[in-house]
Each structure stands twice: as structure tokens, then as C-alpha cells.
């Protein structure tokens, strides 16, 4: 079971490493080009499911919930930037 938790943590860390680059691109480009709102929402739902999985299936507090939460926050930031950039494009 420990090896499963390690692989889950590795997966969440690997996914999490991609979000800062995506946020930076969104911030600098000021464009929605290459972004998909539906994709961002699906990813947010996936992270919410991961958080619920940790809450329901792990005994007590598990640090992996912090990784899921950090990733969800980064996707949330990228989603907010999507809306900002969409507004900038319509000006």
C-alpha cells in the first residue's frame, strides 16, 4: 500500500510541475490561444475527486491532500487568467 501512495504522490507532483509554466504563459501572452476552458474545468474536477479520495479512503490526515490542493489552486489561477485574457481579447 505504501508503494501505491508513493506513485500517487509522484503522479500529482509531475502534474503539478506543469502548472507554473502554464500560468506564466497565460500571464505573459494575455491570450486564450492554446487554452481550453473545458479542459481546465475537467482538471479541476479531477483534483477535487483526488481530494475527496484522500478524505474518504485514508485514515487520518495525509500530506498528499496538500499536493492535490496546491495543484487545484494552480489550475484555479490558470482558469482565472483564462477569463482575464478572454476579456482582454474582446476589447
The correct answer on CATH 1.10.486.10 for the domain covering 2-89 is no
Percent of the chain with pLDDT over 90: 81
Helices (H), ranges, the chain: 2-29, 37-57, 64-89
Sequence spans of domains, the chain: 2-89
Query: For all residues of the chain together, what is the average pLDDT?
Result: 93
Query: What pTM was computed for the model?
Result: 0.89
pLDDT of residue 12: 93
Contact 51, 71 (CB under 8 A): no
Amino acid at each position: 500500500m505504501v508503494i501505491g501512495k508513493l506513485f500517487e504522490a509522484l503522479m500529482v507532483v509531475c502534474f503539478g510541475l506543469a502548472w507554473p509554466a502554464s500560468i506564466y504563459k497565460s500571464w505573459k501572452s494575455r491570450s486564450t490561444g492554446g487554452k481550453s476552458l473545458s479542459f481546465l474545468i475537467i482538471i479541476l474536477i479531477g483534483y477535487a475527486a483526488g481530494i475527496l479520495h484522500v478524505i474518504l479512503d485514508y485514515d487520518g490526515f495525509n500530506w498528499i491532500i496538500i499536493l492535490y490542493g496546491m495543484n487545484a489552486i494552480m489550475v484555479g489561477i490558470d482558469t482565472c487568467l483564462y477569463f482575464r485574457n478572454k476579456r482582454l481579447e474582446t476589447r
